[in-house]
Amino acid sequence: MKPIVKITLIVVVLASIVFLLAPKHETESVNVYSSRNESLIKPLLDEFTAETGIKVNLLTGSGDGLLTRLANEGRNTNADLFLTVDAGALHRAKVAELFQPVQSATLNSAIPANRRDRDNEWFALSMRARTIFYSNERVDPSELSNYLDLADEKWRGRICVRSSDNLYNQSLVASMIAHHGEEVTEEWARGFVANFARKPVGGDRDQLHAVASGLCDIAIANSYYYGGMIASDDETNKETTDKVSIFWASQEEEGTHVNVSGIGLLRYAKNPEKAIQLMEFLASEASQEWYAEANQEFPVRPGTDLSDILEAWGEFKADPLPISALGENNANAVRVMNRAGWR
């Protein structure tokens, strides 16, 4: 064999070995950046891997931190998907041009138009209601009605809620701006803040515990926290949920405010086909039922079975406002909250 032919053969063999040993990211794995607690999403990702053989690499962190990281990584990012817990974060990702549109008949069929981006850059995966919770001992539910009523003086010193830097609260105020305008919403916010029982502190569970302990009479919180506390074996959680009940706000008006967890395909995804396959899996009926049973979140896919806990709360009218409006009104909501003294 001539030397040049021998060298060429060796090069070809080495190249083949390198190819076989190279990481199979583009064909065998999907990388997800997620602001969801790992326990609330990883079981589904593991099930996807078991069914498809496609490995899912999960990186968790704060929504703002992950958005900053994605912006800094640019086209060099290894992430294929961004999964987050609030419509405001999804909107910020879109404005930063981090997403790309997804054309999927499966997703469009599974997820209603008002629960996904109008340009198909992100899709809701689960839904929670941010509504009113009240003390069974100190509040008659007939006293409750809508969010605007929470500015009434009858609630002076009786309300607990998280701080204004919480995205869930910002999205609630954003929805009120969409329905009532900025001027009315700011007037409401000033009265609402005047009714606080204490300076905002802690998370949603802390507000519910505060109602149960008598620090306040009503609270604003996400339904899935309350559902998780009911499902918990923790004695303190049981004591709280025995003393606190859920009330569906604004049933005679626009409906109870809802927010979503959602997902989007990143602009520089290295494996878009497998990433879309994962998105479609998360929107499947089986995955949507898991959200309800394991997380006590409402499915976004119509007709999906609910958990016993969610069923026990009864039907309610959810605000049909397009979820995209929450992100679009976020900046105005923050300004309104700041001017109202909501810290």
| pLDDT band at residue 16 using 50, 70 and 90 as cut-offs | very low
Note whether 197 and 264 are same-domain residues: no
Long-range contacts of 59-68 (CB under 8 A, 24+ apart): 59/31, 59/32, 59/33, 59/34, 60/34, 60/35, 60/36, 61/33, 61/34, 61/35, 62/35, 63/35, 63/89, 63/167, 64/89, 66/33, 66/34, 66/35, 67/92, 67/93, 67/96, 67/98
Residue 28 confidence (pLDDT):
80
Residue 24 confidence (pLDDT):
41
Binding residues are 224-225
Q: Is residue 5 part of a domain?
A: no
Look up the domain containing 294 and give its range: 25-127+259-304
Q: How many distinct structural domains can be found in the chain?
A: 2
% of the chain beyond a pLDDT of 90: 91
pLDDT of 342 higher than 80:
yes
187-222: burial string, b at 16+ Cβ within 10 Å, e else? ebbebbbebbbeebeeebbbbbbbbbeeebbbbbbb
Residue 5 confidence (pLDDT):
39
Residue 27 confidence (pLDDT):
53
* Reported pTM: 0.89
Q: Is residue 51 part of a domain?
A: yes
Binding residues for Fe cation are 224-225
Q: Is residue 79 part of a domain?
A: yes
Q: Is residue 14 part of a domain?
A: no
